[in-house]
Structure 1
Amino acid sequence: MKAPIPNLILLYATLTQSLKVVTKRGSADGCTDWSVDYKKYQVLVGEPVRIKCALFYGYIRANYSLAQSAGLSLMWYKSSGPGDFEEPIAFDGTRMSKEEDSIWFRPTVVQDSGLYACVIRNSTYCMKVSISLTVGENDTGLCYNSKMKYFEKAELSKSKEISCPEIEDFLFPFREPEILWYKECKSKTWRSSIVFKKDALVIREVREDDIGNYTCELKYGFFVVRRTTELTVTAPLTDKPPKLLHPLETKLTIQETQLGGSANLTCRAFFGYSGDVSPLIYWMKGEKFIEDLDDSRVWESDIRVLKEHLGEQEVSISLILDSVEEADLGNYSCYVENGNGRRHASILLHKRAV
């Protein structure tokens, strides 16, 4: 039985209002095209995967059943890439099947890689979006493909939970999943501070040797699903400003130079871990930034990382002066900053006695 006319009008009005913009919308053959969805499916060859039509998950305010009841049909097409010819998909019903708003692959093969366009339409309405699927093989000698890993960070001595991601389609209601965990693709006798709960591995107190690749393995019928997460360990987030190593804050350093010669003032500092923020270190002369001086003779070097461990860094920056003039003599200050504060120390550039 078809939906009443008022409901159809309401649905059509709803369908034409997108909830999100993924990329610039285009239109071809009277069909509104949302290009390629942000979600990309990546699986290992031989694994099952369910590709869901993204139109029902953020582009329109209607699910598959409501669209069906309004007389809209869902069709699938495949192409090898953007702009390539799209061919209708012939489902065999076994290895590859259309099930409500999704395509199921049981299992995938390398040739399944490509773009899958789902189209909802009737005689007067059409909308489509493409979904990317990449099927890859394991790296040689490994149980994962390094281009298909997930990534997590943990702080030293803190607790960290590593989930087995994107396995919802392979879980059964009211049944705990049986998940095996490996590190660097090998079975491991886990220490007592590492525990397992449902779909996650929990490290209660992270150590430096916890760095590495964690693979979870779940059986789904005759198939195996694997997900690999690379864990990076950092020092705890610092709550202190950077520390100057040279020059020192507590002592004025004097550096002599010859007029007409060159001078190199070097500043070194230690930065505790501050997330993904780059070290901020620079020179000033009085109230002037180096950029405000004669840039043909005076300039700063790039910041150099001298040491790095668990996100903590020792860095340096040099101030170079060519053909030193009388006006160049004086006090130069090196500043270091992070979100916890700013510190500075000075070098007095002094004319060498003849």
Structure 2
Amino acid sequence: MKELLKETSKLLWLRRCGPRLSASCVFREQPGTMFILYMLITGVSAFTLQAEEHAGPCRFRGKHFKMQFRLEGEPVVLRCPQTWSWEGVSVDPHANQTWRRNSSAQMVPGKEARMWFKDGTLWLLPALRADSDTYICTVRNASYCDEMSVELRVFENTEVSLPFVSYPQILTSATSGSLVCPDLSEFTRNKTDMLIRWYKDSTLLGQDNEKFLSVTGTPHLVIHDVSVEDAGYYKCALTFSHEGRQYNVTRTIELRVKQRREGTVPVIISPLQTISAALGSRLTIPCKVFLGAGTPLNTMLWWMANDTEVNSAYQGGRVTEGPRQEYSENHENYVEMPLVFNPVAREDLDTDFKCMVFNTQSLQTLHATVREASSSFSWGIALAPLMLLFLVLGGICLYKRGKRRAGKTYGLTTLRTGHQDFPSYPSTIKEVK
């Protein structure tokens, strides 16, 4: 602003007095010039005050989710969180950015020679344990004022600090994978000859090792045929130079190895290939898949209609996929998803329905066709209760008729034999010699 006022004053004097200034001209024109300068200063001040009033108080947007855990004696770079994301809108590069410590409200870098501010980042070179604090970045321009905080924790460079400063990464056994040395962008920007050294339990991993391979120019360490014994702490180190002095930038990775799961090829055990149904009736066709007795893998199950997903083929919802169910029977795993018709229409008779299941082991498909049920079969079912009723009534009639005949025969026998005298016979029988 001072430079602008100075240039404006100079132009005014040159215009009135010409290139050859004289004392009389200056004093003669000074009242007018001073008035113009006064008006310029007043206008700029009013605009600045108006902009600050328009910006209003700063809105605190909270603490950034990523905490910074670093080792003492190493370079630390804190990036203003608003420069990463500000509601999806890029922050004005001309906005004023400032840092302060939350514990003392002290502005940083202040007079600290090892601290400086550059391109929205706060550099601490090197970091000390006393630097542990919450740092607040303020972004302000004429339209808004925004604040966010970043938490920094600086630990002593010992083995005790490893659980706090390490980055967990996971690889699967019996496969090949890679570790990544994280958070190096501020130290490797515009560098194509990046050289990172990798250590396992303080042992340098050589470039010609068949087990471990450090990929030159990248932050990756490839590990072939990962085993459980490869788990543990790895350290990646990068040399950073500033004003003729070199610093070590290290990151610690905790490798966790998970066992590889041997999955089972899914087997579709239902539905039948042909299903009979009456037109206009509700029909449910279950698709049941056997997944084996081990730990089940993530399995996708869905229905197709003429090579189109059911939800797309029947947008009206007449034919839909039912709820997915996962369960176990006799220590064996199954997954099931029905296909529901509400109701069955004639167009379904010409549609190729497919139950499809997919996991990392295989892709299986089973076709199903809907067939119209025959009418005779329906009449037989309808007449079956009536025929049973006739049989029951006929049996009851036969039973009653037989009972009446048995009663008449018993009465006649009693009447004929009730009043006759029969001769007596001796009760003893002689022995024949």
- TM-score tier (shorter): 0.5 to 0.7
Partner SS for 1:42: strand
Q: In the aligned structure 2, how far is the partner of 1:47 from the partner of 1:103?
A: 14
Equivalent positions of 1:192-207 (< 5 A) are 192-197=210-215, 198-207=218-227
**Structure 1: 5+ residue runs without aligned partners?**
3-11, 17-28, 242-269, 276-332, 341-354
1:139 has 2:158 as partner: yes
Match of 2:90 among 44, 49, 62: 62
Match of 2:76 among 49, 52, 74: 49
Taking a change above 3 Å as real, the CA distance of residues 111 and 165 of structure 1, as seen in their structure-2 partners, is same
Q: In the aligned structure 2, how far is the partner of 1:273 from the partner of 1:95?
A: 56
Taking a change above 3 Å as real, the CA distance of residues 224 and 335 of structure 1, as seen in their structure-2 partners, is same
Taking a change above 3 Å as real, the CA distance of residues 336 and 106 of structure 1, as seen in their structure-2 partners, is farther
Counterpart in 1 of 2:176?
159
TM-score scaled by length of structure 1: 0.55
1:115 has 2:134 as partner: yes
Q: In the aligned structure 1, how far is the partner of 2:194 from the partner of 2:141?
A: 41
Taking a change above 3 Å as real, the CA distance of residues 90 and 152 of structure 1, as seen in their structure-2 partners, is closer
Q: In the aligned structure 1, how far is the partner of 2:235 from the partner of 2:187?
A: 16
Give CA-to-partner distance per residue, 1:218-237, whole Å, 9 cap, x none.
11111101111111112213
How far the C-alpha of 1:93 sits from its partner, in A, is 5.8
Q: Which amino acid aligns with 2:158?
A: D
How far the C-alpha of 1:88 sits from its partner, in A, is 2.3
Q: In the aligned structure 1, how far is the partner of 2:229 from the partner of 2:253?
A: 15
Is residue 129–residue 155 contact of structure 2 (8 Å, CA) maintained in 1? yes
Q: In the aligned structure 2, how far is the partner of 1:121 from the partner of 1:206?
A: 50
Is residue 79–residue 120 contact of structure 2 (8 Å, CA) maintained in 1? yes
TM-score scaled by length of structure 2: 0.46
1:74 has 2:94 as partner: no
Counterpart in 2 of 1:291?
none
How far the C-alpha of 1:203 sits from its partner, in A, is 1.0
How far the C-alpha of 1:172 sits from its partner, in A, is 4.6
Q: In the aligned structure 1, how far is the partner of 2:219 from the partner of 2:205?
A: 17
1:235 has 2:259 as partner: yes
Q: In the aligned structure 2, how far is the partner of 1:124 from the partner of 1:154?
A: 48
Q: In the aligned structure 1, how far is the partner of 2:60 from the partner of 2:163?
A: 32
Which of 1 and 2 has greater Rg?
2
Kindly report structure 1 stretches of 4+ aligned residues shifted beyond 3 Å.
122-125, 188-191, 270-275, 333-340
Match of 1:86 among 98, 105, 118: 105
Equivalent positions of 1:329-348 (< 5 A) are 335=331
Q: In the aligned structure 2, how far is the partner of 1:91 from the partner of 1:150?
A: 32
Q: In the aligned structure 2, how far is the partner of 1:89 from the partner of 1:338?
A: 62
How far the C-alpha of 1:175 sits from its partner, in A, is 2.8
Counterpart in 2 of 1:251?
none
Q: Going by fraction, where is strand more abundant, 1 or 2?
A: 1
Partner SS for 1:119: strand
Q: In the aligned structure 2, how far is the partner of 1:49 from the partner of 1:336?
A: 54
How far the C-alpha of 1:183 sits from its partner, in A, is 0.4
Pairwise CA RMSD: 3.3
Percent identity over paired residues: 24
How far the C-alpha of 1:86 sits from its partner, in A, is 2.8
Is residue 71–residue 155 contact of structure 2 (8 Å, CA) maintained in 1? yes
Taking a change above 3 Å as real, the CA distance of residues 123 and 166 of structure 1, as seen in their structure-2 partners, is closer
Is residue 217–residue 227 contact of structure 1 (8 Å, CA) maintained in 2? yes
Counterpart in 1 of 2:114?
95
1:183 has 2:200 as partner: yes
How far the C-alpha of 1:182 sits from its partner, in A, is 0.6
Counterpart in 2 of 1:217?
237
Partner SS for 1:39: coil
Partner SS for 2:164: helix
Is residue 48–residue 223 contact of structure 1 (8 Å, CA) maintained in 2? yes
How far the C-alpha of 1:123 sits from its partner, in A, is 6.8
Partner SS for 2:153: strand
How many residue pairs end up in the alignment? 223
